[in-house]
Amino acid sequence: MNISKRPRRLRSGSLLRKMVRETRVDVSSLVYPLFVVEGEGKKEEIGAMPGQYRYCVDRLSEVLEELQQAGVSAVMFFGIPDHKDEVGSGAYDPDGIVQRALRYTKEHYPDIYRIADLCMCEYTSHGHCGILCGENVDNDKTLEYLERIAVSQAQAGADMVAPSDMMDGRVAAIRAALDQNGFTQTPIMAYSAKFASSFYGPFREAAGSAPAFGDRKSYQMDYHNRLEALKEVQADIEEGADIVMVKPALAYGDLIREVRNMVQVPVAAYSVSGEYAMVKMAAAAGAVDQENIMCEMAASAYRAGADIYITYFAKELARCMKDGKIG
Ligand code: PBG
């Protein structure tokens, strides 16, 4: 046979396959989302996310040790307060749950990089990501609160803040507030292209943050849209975002790629709770192999252009990276 191109030549053995691999990954790109709750001595498993827990601050060391042993050095904190109110005051309380987790981690695990998710939905009695005016989330009123939350997180020791509310103008507002308070060096990772997604279902159980009425479609994006995602990303960069995010990751590889091609800042992809739950449940039912599918999903996000990968599988992935199962 006279075949001029034989792509199989480069697939003949594992050493060669690794040599010509196009996507390389590194543990330093992993971020682990971490839920913290009030109280003492608690480590509660999240029903819809087997293997994920809500930790009290006094038990945080357990998971922080595990992460360090696996080689994961960045966490993103989500707080679950006991007290919720109309304005989400627990989010900017200097002694709030995330603020205490940040202070504890900074003091005892200074080598862990601390990112604070910046939103109100876990702290509001109505479960929306902002201040209500009737049944509508008031954009500009919410900005004032986001500014307070950002400053209080930075004061408590956040290395980076990550606004996930999807209000217009929040990056500029947060940047100005951080700068005015002396936090000019605190980067903002903006959840820029964040879609109104059913993939967040398990998270809302974990954080008790499902909206009490309506949905988030007036602020999170319609998943049919691509140009709008690019518009959001561009706006956030103009307002001063240091890193932009596409969320979820699994069904949005096209946008991770488009954003990567368009911008000059690092791009993060968030593999969300529903992605994790689907893998766990399907693996438990014997339908798929958990480790293989986790690696394949991660590689697809990196191949699409993600520089940072936020995942509930961070520990397991770090091990696979070390063993050479991925990248
Ligand atoms: C808060 C927030 C959510 C997630 C991250 N930040 C929930 C939501 O927007 O409803 C989802 C994360 C996940 O599903 O893993 N606004």
Give the separation between CA 186 and CA 97, rounded to whole angstroms: 20
Among the atoms of ligand 1, which is closest to the Cα of residue 194?
9
Distance 16 CA to ligand 1 centre (A): 40
Among the atoms of ligand 1, which is closest to the Cα of residue 122?
1
Please give the pLDDT value at position 4: 95
What one-character DSSP code corresponds to residue 69?
H
Q: In testing the pocket of ligand 1, which one of 32, 119, 149, 313 has its CB within 8 Å of the most ligand atoms?
A: 119
5 counts as catalytic: no
194 counts as catalytic: yes
Among the atoms of ligand 1, which is closest to the Cα of residue 164?
16
Distance 251 CA to ligand 1 centre (A): 16
Q: In the numeric block, which tokens belong to residue 34? A: 């971490």
DSSP character string of 200-251: GHHHHHHHT---SSS-STTTSBPTT-SHHHHHHHHHHHHHT-SEEEEESSTT
Give the pLDDT confidence of 53-112 residue by residue, as tens digits.
999 999 999 999 999 999 999 999 999 999 999 999 999 999 999 999 999 999 999 999
3-state secondary structure (DSSP) of residue 309: strand
Give the pLDDT confidence of 148-195 residue by residue, as tens digits.
999 999 999 999 999 999 999 999 999 999 999 999 999 999 999 999
HSE value, Cβ hemisphere, 13 Å, CA-based, for 47: 5
Please give the pLDDT value at position 287: 98
Please give the pLDDT value at position 37: 98
Please give the pLDDT value at position 98: 98
Distance 62 CA to ligand 1 centre (A): 24
Minimum CA distance residue for ligand 1 atom 6: 164
Distance 165 CA to ligand 1 centre (A): 9
pLDDT tier, 116 (very low <50, low <70, confident <90, very high otherwise): very high
Minimum CA distance residue for ligand 1 atom 7: 200
What one-character DSSP code corresponds to residue 10?
G
Please give the pLDDT value at position 38: 97
Give the pLDDT confidence of 257-314 residue by residue, as tens digits.
999 999 999 999 999 999 999 999 999 999 999 999 999 999 999 999 999 999 999 9
Distance 203 CA to ligand 1 centre (A): 6
Q: Which residues line ligand 1 (CB under 6 A)?
A: 117, 119, 121, 129, 164, 200, 203-204, 272-273
Among the atoms of ligand 1, which is closest to the Cα of residue 201?
14
Instruction: Report the share of the chain in percent with pLDDT over 90.
Output: 99
Catalytic-labelled residue, pool 106, 141, 247, 315:
247
Please say if the pLDDT value at position 1 is more than 90: no
